[in-house]
Amino acid sequence: MNGTLENPMSTPATSTGASGRSRHRTHHRPVLYSAEKFERHEGGMDPAAREEAAHASARILLMRGRGTDEQMTERLVSFTDDYGIEMLAELWSHASAHSLPGALWRMYWLRDVVHRSPRGVSRAFELGMAEDYRSHVVAGVPDPPSADEVVRTIDEILAGLYTGDMDIAMERCAAFAHVVALGIRTDYARSAGQDSSVPGSHEVKREAVERRARLPRQAQQMEQIAHDLEAVAAQLRAVEAGQQQANGASAADSAQEKSAQEKTQTNLEAF
C-alpha cells in the first residue's frame, strides 16, 4: 500500500468493545503506520523467518479461534482494545497484502479505525451507500448507519472469521471499506470551495483545509484495502475448490463427513 496509512476520521477517547459496551483503553494506544511500515514493519528478524512467522501465527489464530465459545470469540475480536494495533502490526503488517496475515492485519486495522471514529465512519458510510447499494447490502450495515451500528457491524464481520466462512467475512469487510471510500470521495467533492466559508479562527480554518487535502488519499487507502480483501477471499475459495477437486468424486462422501473444523484446517494449511 503506497502513501501514508492514517486514520481517516477523528479519534475519540473511548472504544466500544465487541459486546457493545464502551470501554476505556487500559494499555497501549493504537498507532498509525507509514506505508513502508504498513507493508513491511521494520524489525531485526530475518525477512524469510518473519514472513513464515506471520503466516504461521495467522493460521494458528484462525484454527484455534474457530469453534470456540462466544466469550472467546469476543476476546479475539476485541484484542486491540486492550493491547493496541501495534502488537498485530509487529506480526502481520509486513506481510503481502494478498496473504492470510495481510488480510487479518487489514481487517483488524479497519476495526480499530471504526472503534476510534464511529461518528466519522458512519457519516462516510451514509454518504457512500447511496453510490453503491450492492456493497451496502453485502457489508450488512443497517440503514441509517448510526455510529453504534457501524461499530456493531464491523465487530460482527470480524467475528465471522471465527464463526462462519472466512471468505464471506473478508468480502463483507471489503464491501464495508469500499462504501466508506465512496463516502470519503463524496465528502471531498461536496466540500469543494467551502474552505474559506468555515467559521472560526485561522487555526480552525487551517485544520479544515488540511483535513480536506487528506481525503483523496484516505479514500484511496480504503479502496485498496477493499481490493486486497476481495483478492484474498477469492484465493480462499480457489483453495477450497482445489481441495475438493483433489479429493475426487470417490472421496465425496468422506469429505462430507469431515467436520467444519477439519475442512478449515486443511484449507488453511494449503493456503
- Contact status, residue 221 vs residue 5, Cβ threshold 8 Å: yes
- State the pLDDT at residue 11: 39
- State the pLDDT at residue 124: 97
pLDDT at 237 over 80: yes
Mapping DSSP to helix (H, G, I), strand (E, B) and coil, where does residue 88 land? Answer: helix
φ and ψ at residue 8, rounded to 5 degrees:
-75, 0
List the one residue out of 271, 199, 189 whose CA is nearest residue 236.
Answer: 271
* pLDDT above 70: percentage of residues in the chain: 70
- State the pLDDT at residue 115: 96
pLDDT at 27 over 60: no
pLDDT at 146 over 80: yes
pLDDT at 26 over 50: no
- State the pLDDT at residue 79: 92
- Mean pLDDT computed over 2-21: 46
pLDDT at 259 over 60: no
pLDDT digits (tens, 9 = 90+) for 76-120: 999 999 888 999 999 999 999 999 999 999 999 999 999 999 999
pLDDT digits (tens, 9 = 90+) for 174-186: 999 999 999 999 9
- Contact status, residue 146 vs residue 122, Cβ threshold 8 Å: yes
* Residue 156 pLDDT class (50, 70, 90 cuts): very high
- State the pLDDT at residue 195: 56
On average, the pLDDT of the chain sits at: 81
Mapping DSSP to helix (H, G, I), strand (E, B) and coil, where does residue 94 land? Answer: coil
* Residue 68 pLDDT class (50, 70, 90 cuts): confident
- Pairwise CA distance, residues 30 & 93, whole Å: 14
* Residue 211 pLDDT class (50, 70, 90 cuts): confident
- Pairwise CA distance, residues 40 & 202, whole Å: 39
Give Cβ neighbours of residue 71 (< 8 Å, ≥ 6 apart): none
- Mean pLDDT computed over 17-43: 46
* Residue 17 pLDDT class (50, 70, 90 cuts): low
Cell triple for 42: 521494520
Give this prediction's pTM.
0.78
pLDDT at 215 over 60: yes
- State the pLDDT at residue 248: 66
